[in-house]
Amino acid sequence: MKHPLVSVVIASYNMGQYLPQAIQSILDQTYKNLEVIVIDDGSTDNTEQNIRPMLCDSRLFYVKQPNLGQPKAKNNGLAQCKGEFIAFCDGDDLWEENKLELQIPLFNRPEVGVVYSEVSYIDENNKTYDKQPPYVRYEGKVTEQLLEKNFVPFGTAVIRKECIEKDGVFNDEYRMGIDWDLWLRYSLNWEFLFCPSKTYIYREWSGQMSNNMKGRYDYAFKILREFEAKHGSKIPEKAIKHSWADMFISRGVAMARAERTFINPLKDIVKGISMEPSSIYGWKALVKLFLRRI
């Protein structure tokens, strides 16, 4: 099919203020063959009231469930997708109108499982601003690069439904980092392609879950540990070791910056260097920590 059906999953909790704007940005796509599945994860705000007038569009489906957390909400959405391709949007974010028009044609080979893109940023008042991408973006077989950094901005990704059928849905044992776990598993069997255009608009505002630095690293360690246990034999030992070293150093840097502490970040950075003594990143982090420049 030239224009296959794309299913878009929005799992939302108490995003009534922003959700209609997110939905409308998807319905306004220049690519028209799509459906939008909104999973309301037990919201207690005005979510239902605000989107009910939008349900006159036959492409929009609204499902309210008890509050079960984002992994189960996303999986509920995935279970209802009818499309050959699946995309995501968080309830407080937006799509550029040409997102699918740019990304769907890149699925031009059966081995391409994920197409992702660059992002732009807005604040809670819809004000746009520039921000340097934090990571290098990679294409092809990217497991080793993903082990070091999750360089795929979640909401930018479009995936083949076959990825889910072959390699599973979100792991609902994790509250955070569920996209990194998903990409790691998919990377074993599928190629990733990068669209350099900014097709996704990420909203940054105070209090959102992604600001919980300690929680992010707690789950990242769990994800890496489980991935190594299940799939480590498929990956070069050097890549696994490098990933662990980077994880410890990155946590040390992040916690030193977030909490302005010294002892625990020092332990993490030293641990990382001991695992990979040639790590320039680790030695630079150690010097910066002692100079209080992190």
Q: 246: part of which helix (H) or strand (E)?
A: helix 237-259
pLDDT of amino acid 205: 82
pLDDT of amino acid 224: 98
Torsion, Cα of 243, 245, 250, 253 (10° steps): -170
Residue 209 has pLDDT above 70, yes or no: no
Answer yes or no: are the C-beta atoms of 164 and 87 closer than 8 Å.
no
Q: Compute CA 250 distance to the chain's CA centroid, rounded to the nearest angstrom.
A: 18
Longest dimension (CA), the chain: 61
* pTM over the 0.85 mark: yes
Mean pLDDT in residue range 54-69: 98
> Which residues fall within 8 angstroms of residue 221, CB to CB, at 6 or more apart?
247, 251
d(C-alpha 290, C-alpha 184), whole Å: 34
Answer yes or no: are the C-beta atoms of 35 and 61 closer than 8 Å.
yes
The number of C-alpha atoms within 13 Å of 164 and in the hemisphere containing its C-beta is 23
Same domain, 204 and 244: no
Q: What is the pLDDT of residues 126-136, one digit of tens each?
A: 999 988 888 99
pLDDT of amino acid 206: 73
Per-chain mean pLDDT for the chain: 96
Mean pLDDT in residue range 270-291: 97
Residue 212 has pLDDT above 90, yes or no: no
Q: What is the pLDDT of residues 219-258, one digit of tens each?
A: 999 999 999 999 999 999 999 999 999 999 999 999 999 9
195 phi/psi in degrees, rounded to 5: -100, 115
Same domain, 87 and 170: yes
Same domain, 119 and 46: yes
Domain end among 167, 192, 210: 210
Within-domain flag for 223: no
State the residue range of the domain holding 74. Answer: 6-210
Same domain, 182 and 286: no
Same domain, 281 and 160: no
pLDDT band at 285 (very low <50, low <70, confident <90, very high): very high
Where b means 16+ CB within 10 Å and e means fewer, 237-252 reads eeebebbbbbbbbbbb
pLDDT of amino acid 211: 61
Same domain, 163 and 83: yes
- In percent, the amount of the chain with pLDDT more than 70 equals 98
Q: 33: part of which helix (H) or strand (E)?
A: none
β pairing state of 112-122 and 158-160: antiparallel
Positive or negative: CA dihedral 201, 205, 209, 212:
positive
β pairing state of 6-12 and 34-41: parallel
pLDDT band at 208 (very low <50, low <70, confident <90, very high): low
Quote the number of domains for the chain.
Answer: 2
Within-domain flag for 241: yes
Same domain, 195 and 256: no
Q: 158: part of which helix (H) or strand (E)?
A: strand 158-160
Same domain, 180 and 280: no
The number of C-alpha atoms within 13 Å of 289 and in the hemisphere containing its C-beta is 26
Is pLDDT larger for residue 132 or for residue 55? 55
Within-domain flag for 256: yes
Within-domain flag for 63: yes
Q: Helix, strand, or coil here: 113?
A: strand
Residue 207 has pLDDT above 70, yes or no: no
Residue 210 has pLDDT above 60, yes or no: no
Domain of 196, CATH number, reads: 3.90.550.10
Q: What is the pLDDT of residues 157-196, one digit of tens each?
A: 999 999 999 999 999 999 999 999 999 999 999 999 999 9
